Amino acid sequence: MSSFKADSFKLTPKVYSEEFEKILTGIVKCYKLILKNKIRIPNNENEIRDIFFKGYLKKQDIKKQLNLLDYRFDRETLEDNSNGRVDIRILSKNDFENDDAYYVIECKRLDNKNLNGISGLNAEYVKNGILRFTTGRYSTYYGLSGMIGFIVKPLDISNNISNINTLLNKPKFSAANTITKLKSINFIQNFNQSYLSIHKPNNKPNIDIYHLMFDFSKNLRDSDT
């Protein structure tokens, strides 16, 4: 694990950051299985999410392989405090009786167009991703949340992280209340595209947002290229 750890921040209990990193590690293994199995990917974020959800994260034999048997995965779950529906909700067996205790992962497509503009998919990643956590539209019970970028066109991921960080400086996205922009956090073996950003919503504890970048640009269905 790199020296840049979520558990170095006092407001995020170490036990939750370690558990969430375990979950994200399993999801990265799931991503690698999709690539290994040569699954053709649609250019639609909900349909890509559903490949993870239906084909892998809801199957007990695969969850065992991914070391995720202790967790229940739901999709399109309506948040009680808003009209938002979270892409992926994750409940730990330790907290099944607490309806408010779960992790949230939001999924967004990313491509190679308008990378620094306020109307491209990078902007959507911030506006309808990061800001949904920092404005309270999505819950952050443990002070932790996650995002997955589904890359659907050839893209230099490292450079694009800089583009997303540039957008976080724009007044339009000031509600992100960013303390630390996306920074590499290598906690998953043989996977270098994981990042962490830290945010301080008004009068609330810090939120740590993990970001995973999954490159599907070579795996799109022919009809979606």
Q: What is the pLDDT of residues 90-103, one digit of tens each?
A: 999 877 667 788 99
Where exactly are the structural domains of the chain?
A: 6-224
CA distance 62 to 40: 19
Residue 85: per-residue pLDDT: 83
Give the N- to C-terminal CA distance of the chain in Å, as an integer.
Answer: 36
Question: How much is the mean pLDDT over the chain?
Answer: 90
Residue that wins the pLDDT comparison between 23 and 139: 23
Residue 12: per-residue pLDDT: 53
**What average pLDDT does the segment 39-64 reach?**
95
Q: How many CB atoms lie within 10 A of CB 199?
A: 23
Residue 96: per-residue pLDDT: 65
Spatial strand order of the sheet with 207-215 comes to 71-78, 85-92, 103-110, 144-151, 207-215, 194-199, 178-184
Residue 14: per-residue pLDDT: 85
How is residue 65 written in tokens? Answer: 């392989």
Residue 84: per-residue pLDDT: 73
pLDDT band at 6 (very low <50, low <70, confident <90, very high): very low
The secondary structure element, H or E, covering residue 154 is: none
Q: pLDDT at residue 139 above 90?
A: no
